[in-house]
């Protein structure tokens, strides 16, 4: 996170230098692309693990964990949409600013639209992780721990 802070500092300090602004905008677009892809990959791995656990639920997972896994899958699927809706506009914003750095009005207007859109994204994120009246039993149990227990119980085909 320190790198992102430094890049943003350079972004605001380089607003007076044309070439430096283009380099910083390209760097920010690249950072958002890499962060978005890595978060999406990690989230997809977690969803695949949940899918594998629910498919093999009859032998590997106790019945008490099924509701918890379903809720986690639902939350992670919604989080996937949050990731897509957050990282793609940011990537497009900095890509556009990199290619069209001379038109300040268009850049500021686009940045305003993206930030306005982010208000809805953050509200959606809060809705995804909202407090529930009743949580399923064992909801705080980590998915990796559950998969490790299933593997130790004689299910070696479950790769983690």
* Residue 20 counted as domain residue: no
What pLDDT, on the 0 to 100 scale, is given for residue 52? 82
What pLDDT, on the 0 to 100 scale, is given for residue 160? 46
Q: Which residue has the tokens 């909801």?
A: 139
| Residue range 97-136, pLDDT digits in tens | 888 877 889 888 999 999 999 999 999 999 998 888 887 7
User: Is residue 94 over pLDDT 50?
Assistant: yes
| Cα distance between the two ends of the chain | 27
* Residue 46 counted as domain residue: yes
Ordered alpha helix ranges (H), 2-141: 2-13, 18-55, 57-60, 66-99, 104-128
Instruction: Domain count for the chain, please give it.
Output: 1
* Residue 12 counted as domain residue: no
Rounded percentage of the chain residues whose pLDDT exceeds 90:
32
What pLDDT, on the 0 to 100 scale, is given for residue 100? 84
* Residue 22 counted as domain residue: no
* Residue 42 counted as domain residue: yes
* Residue 8 counted as domain residue: no
- For 156, list phi and psi in degrees, rounded to 5: -70, -15
* Residue 41 counted as domain residue: yes
Q: Which residue has the tokens 């230098």?
A: 17
Specify whether the CB–CB gap between 54 and 70 falls below 8 A: yes
Specify whether the CB–CB gap between 143 and 49 falls below 8 A: yes
What pLDDT, on the 0 to 100 scale, is given for residue 112? 94
* Residue 6 counted as domain residue: no
Dist CA 158 CA 79 (whole Å)? 24
Range of the domain at 87: 30-152
Q: 16 or 86, which is more confident?
A: 86
What pLDDT, on the 0 to 100 scale, is given for residue 16? 65
CA dihedral 68, 74, 79, 82 (to 10 degrees): -150
């Amino acid at each position: 996170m320190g790198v992102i802070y430094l890049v943003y500092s350079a972004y605001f300090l380089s607003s007076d230098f044309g070439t430096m602004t283009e380099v910083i905008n390209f760097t920010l677009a690249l950072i958002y692309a890499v962060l978005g892809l890595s978060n999406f990959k990690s989230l997809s791995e977690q969803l695949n693990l949940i899918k594998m656990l629910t498919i093999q639920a009859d032998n590997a997972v106790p019945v008490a964990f099924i509701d918890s896994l379903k809720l986690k899958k639902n939350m992670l699927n919604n989080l996937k949409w949050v990731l897509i809706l957050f990282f793609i506009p940011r990537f497009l914003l900095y890509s556009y600013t990199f290619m069209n750095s001379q038109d300040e009005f268009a850049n500021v207007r686009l940045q305003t639209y993206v930030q306005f859109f982010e208000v809805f994204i953050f509200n959606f994120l809060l809705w995804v992780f909202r407090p529930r009246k009743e949580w399923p039993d064992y909801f705080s149990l980590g998915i990796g721990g559950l998969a490790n227990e299933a593997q130790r119980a004689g299910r070696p085909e479950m790769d983690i």
